[in-house]
Amino acid sequence: MSGRAHGTPPVRATAEQSAEVFAALRSILSAHARELKVTADGPKGYSLNTPYSGRWKKELFFGGVQVTKNYVSFHVFPVYMYPDLLDGATPGLKARMQGKSCFNFRAPEPELFAELAALVAAGLARMKAEKDF
């Protein structure tokens, strides 16, 4: 049972909020595009894979940002592989988690976006250190 009254639509981000959140989150990932492989780049989604991994015998999904109906989702796959990357995460960031490696936003949150940028950089460094690609 959800926390909203029966028949009440979910709170949605405005188109302007979604566009601003998408642009900010996309820039976090695109900062690493030279080391990774862009697999989608459009107005509703951006995603990166690792280069081919000899260890896993394929490219691995690294991260992505996607505009959905109610919010903008930011996926950080290294967090799924290495949950300890979240050990120092703030309660504010953890409150945005949906599942094991997805964070949802309806409006820009610069402090949390800075934390996500550090998390993405740490995840990339960890994947390199673990020789995942």
* Inside any domain, residue 100: yes
pLDDT per residue as tens digits for the range 78-114: 999 999 999 999 999 999 999 999 999 999 999 999 9
**Is 46 inside a domain boundary?**
yes
Whether the predicted pLDDT of 4 surpasses 90: no
Q: Is the model's pLDDT at 2 over the cut of 60?
A: no
Whether the predicted pLDDT of 6 surpasses 60: no
Q: What pLDDT score was predicted for residue 12?
A: 84
In a domain, 7, yes or no: no
Question: What's the pLDDT at 1?
Answer: 43
Report the first-to-last Cα separation within the chain, whole angstroms.
42
Is the pLDDT at 11 greater than 90? The verdict is: no
Q: Could you read off the pLDDT of 18-51 as tens digits, one per residue?
A: 999 999 999 999 999 999 999 999 999 999 999 9
Cβ-based neighbour number of residue 42 at 10 Å: 8
Whats the size of the chain, residue-wise?
133
pLDDT confidence of residue 13 = 84
Domain coverage including residue 50: 15-129
Burial class of residue 34 in the structure, from the number of CB atoms within 10 Å of its CB (0-12 exposed, 13-18 middle, 19+ buried): exposed
Mean predicted lDDT score pLDDT of the chain: 93
Q: Residue 104 maps to which CATH number?
A: 3.90.1150
- What total number of domains does the chain contain? 1
Cα(88)–Cα(92) distance, integer angstroms: 12
User: Looking at per-residue confidence, does 30 or 10 come out higher?
Assistant: 30
Q: Which of 4-8, 12-16, 44-48, 74-78 has the lowest mean pLDDT?
A: 4-8
Torsion of CA 39, 42, 44, 46, to 10 degrees: 30
DSSP string for 57-114: TB--EEEEEEE-SS-EEEEEHHHHH-GGGGTT--HHHHHTEETTTEEEESS--HHHHH
- DSSP letter at 34 equals T
For residues 4-18, give the mean pLDDT: 73
